[in-house]
Structure 1
Amino acid sequence: MIKIVAAVRRKPGMTHSEFLNYIEHKHGQLARENPLGLSRYVQNHVFDSAFGADADPAYTQAFHRDSVTELFFADVSQMIRTMSDPHTQQKTGPDALNFADMSNQIAQLMDESEIRVQHPGTGAFKVMIFLKKLPDVPLERFFLTWNQAHDAVAAEQPIFGRAVRKQIHSRYLPEGDKITSYFGPDIQVSHGVSSLWFEHEADSLTFRAYQRSLFQRLAKEGVLDASGSFFVYAKEVVILDQQPNS
């Protein structure tokens, strides 16, 4: 399973609630009309977030994001079939002009792997961390350093380990760049996305301790672009699910 992850912000003149209402009920309906090769479509409606590093003006390139789109496909052929179809090209795609700021979009093709947690569950409180590497850092070094930093921080913070119910690490696939140009003329990339689920919103304090330590370790290792990294708290809204046994 592969997926496209796009962090979207609303167009000028639109409120956050107007944006969320539109993408769920109008844009989402366009996807349901003709799902093609799309296995699953999730909108993550952002209700809080933090961007960049302290006292760093460069973070404004990533700020702000109102929702995160996740489009899941069984394989590359199904993705290409969907993204090149006239329904996508003439209806679903152009509809973005009705709700999205098309400048500095963040979108990338990714694969994902589930991280083992102590107490698996179905927590309703979701957090997504977007990590951007420094330009001269090789992808494999970034991925390895990220995994090592996560393991070290999780070991140091047993409260976090007890609280998290599910964790997915998604890794950037450069071969998808031609497809993700669909999201706009100026695409930015996040090289890693960590999705975490907790039972309660109160677990945000536990998450924040983990997130701060993770960012500090990655920065110390010289792999993290802090200005381009951020996290969001989101409500997961499933628009479409055609996966077997779903």
Structure 2
Amino acid sequence: MIKVFILARRTPGLTRQAAQAHLRDVHGRMVVLPPADAGALPAYYVQNHIVDGGYPAGDGAQAIERDLVTEVNFESMAAMQAALATPYYLEKLGPDEPRFVHNPSVVRLAVVPQTIVEGSRTFAKLFVFVSRTPDLDDARWTAIRDGVGETMRGWDGLVALTENVVAPPPHGQRFVDSVFEAWFDGHAAAMDAASRVPALFAVDGIDRDRSLTVVAEEYTEERLRALLTEQAKADSRS
């Protein structure tokens, strides 16, 4: 299974609410309620609508405030390539993206997930994007990652926790090295956890200028499909 995170800022001129509504109600409908002839699609699809975040200073890509994190999963590289080559993607899904996404801001991260705390996905979610300092040895970095996971698993309200190790990009430097994905029993717990992240980033070996925090509301494929189906029924009754 190939898992990819897509981080983006909203297209200029749109409010965050408008961009997220388009992603959920228009683009999301295209993905989770496609026409019968759509062809290959992701094996699993998740939207994360950002409600708050902590970003580093400076002008690096990590300092850009984000509005959306989409997760797409494919059974294989061939399946991903097939989905991106369908007429449905090329004529419908692809052209819709600039209507709510600022394409120059987009970052794509291919990751390998590792479960730390097994549990159910909830609506309240925290992403912790962590980068290592240059020239840090692998053994020390592994110890730091383990420490981050061990600290996070003790936070109040935590329901599930996954570390996503970022694969090397085809060229250039990784945007970040690991993405910790944490689900909480409510938004208050997620926000409280976010307030604890700066202490995590104070550890020697973490590059604070390339690390960031995002609090989001998660819309799984199942949640999206249920919401949009109910919305369609309500529209038909009116």
Shift of 1:236: 0.8
Separation of aligned partners in 2, 1:124 and 1:28: 16
- Indicate conservation of the 8 Å contact 2:62/2:211, yes or no: no
Q: Deviations over 1:127-182 (max 9, x none)?
A: 111223345457x5586144322255358xx4x1x53110011111236x49xxxx
Is 1:40 matched up with 2:47?
Answer: no
Corresponding residue for 1:228? 210
Aligned residue pairs, count? 219
The CA deviation at 1:122 is: 4.7
What amino acid is aligned across from residue 179 of structure 2 in structure 1?
A: V
State the distance in 2 between where 1:240 and 1:79 align: 21
TM normalised by structure 2 equals 0.78
Contact 1:61–1:104, Cα closer than 8 Å, also in 2: no
How far does the alpha carbon of each residue in 1:88-130 deviate from its partner, in whole angstroms, 9 at most, with x for none? 233312222211111232211112111136xx45543211112
Secondary structure class of the residue paired with 2:129: strand
- SS of 1:107 mapped into structure 2: strand
Residue deviations 1:60-110 (CA, integer Å, cap 9, x gap): 753211110000112222222212333223331222221111123221111
Counterpart AA for 1:128: F
- Partner residue of 1:86? 87
In structure 1, the residue corresponding to 2:29 is in which secondary structure?
A: helix
Structure 1 residue 13, shift from structure 2 partner? 0.7
- The C-alpha deviation readout for 1:210-245, integer Å capped at 9, x for no partner, is 42232112xx12xx332232111111112469xxxx
Q: Measured at CA, do residues 15 and 35 of structure 1 come closer, stay the same or move farther in structure 2, by a change above 3 Å?
A: farther
Bigger RCO of structures 1 and 2 (CA < 8 A, at least 6 apart): 1
Q: Which amino acid aligns with 2:110?
A: L
The answer on whether the counterparts of 2:201 and 2:207 sit within 8 Å (CA) in structure 1 is no
* Structure 1 residue 26 displacement after superposition: 1.4
The equivalences for 1:100-179 within 5 A come to 100-116=101-117, 120-134=119-133, 136-137=135-136, 144-151=142-149, 153-154=151-152, 158=154, 160=155, 162-174=156-168, 177=170
Distance change in 2, residues 1:240/1:91 (3 Å): farther
List alignment gaps of at least 5 residues for structure 2.
224-238
What is residue 51 of structure 1 aligned with on the other side?
55
* Letter of the 1:237 counterpart: Y
Cα displacement string for residues 22-56 of structure 1 (whole angstroms, at most 9, x for unaligned residues): 1111112232323614111111011111111xxx3
Conservation of the 8 A alpha-carbon contact between 2:132 and 2:141: no
Identity, % of aligned positions: 22
Distance 1:88 1:188, change over 3 A: farther
**Which residue, out of 170, 189, 214, partners 2:200?**
214
Which structure 2 residues correspond to residues 177-188 of structure 1 after superposition, within 5 A? 177=170
Q: 1:183 — aligned with what?
A: none
CA RMSD of aligned residues (A): 3.0
